Amino acid sequence: MIKPTANFANVQTANSSKEFLVIENVTKAYPKPNGDETVVLDDINLTIGENEYISIIGHSGCGKSTLLKIVSGLERATSGSIWLDGREIRKPGAERMMVFQHYSLLPWLTVRENIRLAVDEVLDHLTPADKRRVVDEHIAMVNLNAASEKYPDELSGGMKQRVGIARALAIRPKMLLMDEPFGALDALTRGRLQRQVLDIWENQRQAVMMVTHDVDEALYMSDRIIMMTNGPHAKIGEILEVPFSHPRNLKELRELPIYYELRNHALNFLDRNFSQDE
């Protein structure tokens, strides 16, 4: 049995091996047409370890994507600061790669060319042969060898997302940011791709921040689940430690009573924070 009070209550002190990503007092407000403002995120504090996989979960509109965009540098916090490996984040950078739900591949480039473009831009110090090797390795990593000369239009959703993931990983970011990366996929493809991403992560641990709606996905993949309260003024409500070691086996996890205790705990949190307009 787990003891909920010991495991679920700790919001401020993250169980990270190191303070790799530090989110400090981050607040984000958007202006309203009438001159007022909406405070979306309210004083978010979180640290993430160098090899840690965390999920952010919460109802639609609570500010999960906004938080991820602030970490990516695509949005600026209204106040507070974010530090990665000791350096303050002020703009997008190749050390933080984002994977979006809707793939964002360039349609006029093949799989190989989409990945190569990112490698050319970021790893321009490599020789052409080394660049080719990096691209080939990452195409193989996501099992896309047979599709490497295809265009995005010729690929299934799962394949497109694998290209997005390969492209993000090819440039060796310090941190991977994923915004509902499996959200647009059918259940079977989603399960397969979750496994593939977890295989890659279990081999080359790095900091991952993933936004998801799916409690099972968060439990299967992450080390901690950051549960957000509803907006406006969304905060971190609870942090759920996921006590399963890696590599994980979904079938085995589903045989553990603790899996269902954690799952129910997360679902109950979401129920308590049920938004009126959903």
Binding to ligand ADP in span 35-64, by CB under 6 A: 40, 58, 60-64
Greatest distance between any 2 Cα atoms in the chain: 56
Single-letter amino acid, residue 226:
I
Q: How many residues bind ligand ADP (CB under 6 A)?
A: 11
Q: Name the residue nearer to ligand ADP (CB basis): 233 or 263.
A: 233
Q: Which is nearer to ligand ADP, 163 or 217 (CB)?
A: 217
At residue 12, what is the residue type? Q
Residue 231 binds ligand ADP, judged by CB under 6 A: yes
208 is an interface residue for ligand ADP by CB under 6 A: no
What is the torsion angle, in degrees rounded to the nearest 10, for the CA atoms of residue 38, residue 39, residue 40 and residue 42?
-170
Q: Which is nearer to ligand ADP, 37 or 154 (CB)?
A: 37
Burial class (CB in 10 A: 0-12, 13-18, 19+), 71: buried
CB of 27 to ligand ADP, least distance (A): 13
* Nearer residue to ligand ADP within complex by CB, 38 or 204: 38
Q: Which residue has the tokens 């308590």?
A: 272
Neighbours of 77 (CB within 10 A): 22
Determine, following the binding rule CB under 6 A, whether residue 65 of this chain makes contact with ligand ADP. Answer: yes
Regarding 114 and contact with ligand ADP (CB under 6 A), the answer is: no
Minimum Å distance from CB 119 to ligand ADP?
Answer: 29
Q: Mark residues 19-38: x for contact with ligand ADP by CB under 6 A, - for none.
A: -----------x--------
Instruction: Please give the order of strands across the beta sheet that includes 224-228.
Output: 96-99, 175-179, 207-212, 53-57, 224-228, 236-241
- If you ran DSSP here, which 8-state letter would residue 245 be given? P
User: 149-178 mask for ligand ADP (x: CB under 6 A)?
Assistant: ------------------------------
- Residue 65 CB, nearest approach to ligand ADP (Å): 3
Closer of 49 and 63 to ligand ADP (Cβ): 63
Which residue type is seen at 143?
N
8 Å CB contact between 104 and 181: no
Q: Kindly tell me which of 30 and 260 has the beta carbon lying closer to ligand ADP.
A: 30
What is the DSSP code string of 72-121? HTSS--SEEEEEETTEE--S--TTEEEE-TT----TTS-HHHHHHHHHHH
Q: Which two tokens stand for residue 22?
A: 């530090």
Give whichever of 64 and 224 is closer to ligand ADP, judged by the CB atom.
64
The rounded distance, in Å, linking the Cα atoms of 115 and 137 is: 11
**Binding region for ligand ADP (CB under 6 A):** 30, 40, 58, 60-66, 231
